[in-house]
Amino acid sequence: MAPAAAGRRAPITDWRPEDPEFWRTTGAPIARRNLYVSIFAEHVGFSVWSLWSVMVLFLGPAYGIDPAGKFLLTAVPAALGAVLRLPYTLAVARFGGRNWTIVSALMLLVPAVPMALLIEPGVSYATLMVLACLTGVGGGNFASSMANINLFFPERLKGRALGLNAGGGNLGVPAVQLVGLAVLATAGAAYPRLVPAVYLPLIVLAALAAARWLDNIPGARNEPGALREAARNSHTWVMSLLYIGTFGSFIGFGFAFGQVLQLQFHDRFPTPVDAAWLTFLGPLIGSLIRPLGGQLADRLGGARVTFWNFVAMAVGATLVLYAARDRSFPLYLAGFLALFVFSGIGNGSTYKMIPAIFRARAVTEAELTGDREAAERRARRLAGALIGIAGAVGASGGVLVNIAFRQSFLAAGTADAAYLAFIAFYALCFAVTWAVYLRPGPRKLSGV
């Protein structure tokens, strides 16, 4: 470590997490400190990204916005969040993890401050669309946070660290919905500006915590050509498709669930506060169960868990469709909670598949070239690039879910067409998983 200036912690000049002695004496405490702060900063970012899943519940008749317009307001944050994931991933190596976390946390003020000032009856729909889109900056924070924490831990501990980081971030969805519920239950639906206002001090605190306790890792760099090479690999697009089905479902349903409850069962949920009591449940369960997907993938294989997970999601969507047609709320809630549970498990299992795919290919490459070290280095390089691409593409599922609901309600006044589309997509996902990763044959990848 370099000598510290007065009152400041010394910057890291040497980082060797794979060295057992270095890790035990120096690396582990630093890595844990960075992980805890990263979880908090990412959690706040995810909450800001999810703000409009709550804000639409406040937009009553005085705002003059129909259900189709509200679904657009929850779609545009997902769209910008998906677009930003890739550049945010690259920003960590370019600017430093500590530096970028400070900047990305402060950027959350860009949507939060005007939302706290402007949202009231009479505000134009165009203004609301711009504000909703800007909250997408919170979606990029997940990618940069994961890329940063990945640098701190040795290979044997990355899975657990990344799982904790991802789960803590995902919990931002139910957290912001609980904040919305608290505002609805106390101040009432006339004060939507209080929800983003709650997050203003938390955003500042996240930036200050990053400045005080995070570190930049020396020598971190973006692998030249890795993204381009990964983009030419067919597994990148297969895994991106599967990640749309898992993470895309989680974030899409998290944004849409409150609206769908009110539209499908308006007699049971006549006011926003009635719906808000249940809105947070699904995202909470999906976030908490995410590590289980990774653990099951470790024991049973990522492809096998992912295959049966998509079968279960198709069954869950079928149950939701049947319950909606039969007007059975208990079945409907059970089906939707199942979709959240299995989207959470699938998030963990698909993430586990990515490094396993390239490890399997590295074994084959090493047998051909005789250079195992180079093959493993290339595998890690491509796996990192694939995670960035799949994360960006997968987040677009949040857009697709909300657009599917919007078009279904516009065309038929029900969500039946959207549920049928989800069933078909999950069937496609489990068919692709079997065909590419489970089907017996000479091209099957071992250990995926």
Nearest 5°: CA angle at 87, between 229 and 290? 85
Nearest to 109 by CA among 9, 27, 209, 207: 207
Give a yes or no: residue 137 inside a domain: yes
Tell whether 203 and 172 lie within a shared domain.
yes
Tell whether 255 and 161 lie within a shared domain.
no
Tell whether 210 and 345 lie within a shared domain.
no
CB 286, CB 340: distance < 8 Å: yes
Last residue of a domain, one of 156, 187, 221: 221
CA 283 vs. chain centroid, Å, equals 11
Structural domain harbouring 365 = 223-447
What is the largest distance, in Å, between two alpha-carbon atoms of the chain? 70
Tell whether 361 and 233 lie within a shared domain.
yes
* pTM to 2 decimal places: 0.88
CATH number at residue 114: 1.20.1250.20
Determine the 3-state secondary structure of 326 from DSSP.
Answer: helix
Last residue of a domain, one of 181, 197, 221: 221
Tell whether 117 and 156 lie within a shared domain.
yes
Per-residue pLDDT of the chain (448 residues; tens, 9 = 90+): 444 444 456 788 889 988 899 999 999 999 999 999 999 999 999 999 999 999 998 998 899 999 889 999 999 999 999 999 889 988 988 899 999 999 999 999 999 999 999 999 999 999 999 999 999 999 999 888 988 988 898 877 877 788 788 888 889 999 999 999 899 888 888 899 999 999 999 999 999 999 999 999 987 777 778 888 888 889 999 999 999 999 999 999 999 998 898 888 888 888 777 777 888 888 999 888 888 888 888 888 889 999 999 999 999 999 999 999 999 999 999 999 999 999 999 988 888 888 888 888 777 776 667 777 777 777 777 877 888 888 889 888 999 999 999 999 999 889 999 999 999 999 999 999 999 999 988 778 887 8
Q: Domain count of the chain?
A: 2
DSSP secondary structure string, 374-396?
HHHHHHHHHHHHHHHHHHHHHHT
Q: Which residues contact 321 (CB under 8 A, 6 or more apart)?
A: 416, 419, 420, 423
Going from the C-alpha of 162 to that of each of 153, 254, 259, 266, the distances in angstroms are: 9, 21, 31, 40
| Gap between the Cα atoms of 382 and 391, Å rounded | 14
Give a yes or no: residue 90 inside a domain: yes
Tell whether 96 and 205 lie within a shared domain.
yes
Last residue of a domain, one of 221, 248, 282: 221
CB 408, CB 414: distance < 8 Å: yes
Give a yes or no: residue 5 inside a domain: no
Determine the 3-state secondary structure of 148 from DSSP.
Answer: helix
Tell whether 313 and 332 lie within a shared domain.
yes
DSSP secondary structure string, 282-304?
HHHHHHHHHHHHHHHHHHH-HHH
Tell whether 216 and 230 lie within a shared domain.
no
Going from the C-alpha of 118 to that of each of 87, 90, 200, 268, 362, the distances in angstroms are: 29, 33, 15, 31, 54
Give a yes or no: residue 4 inside a domain: no
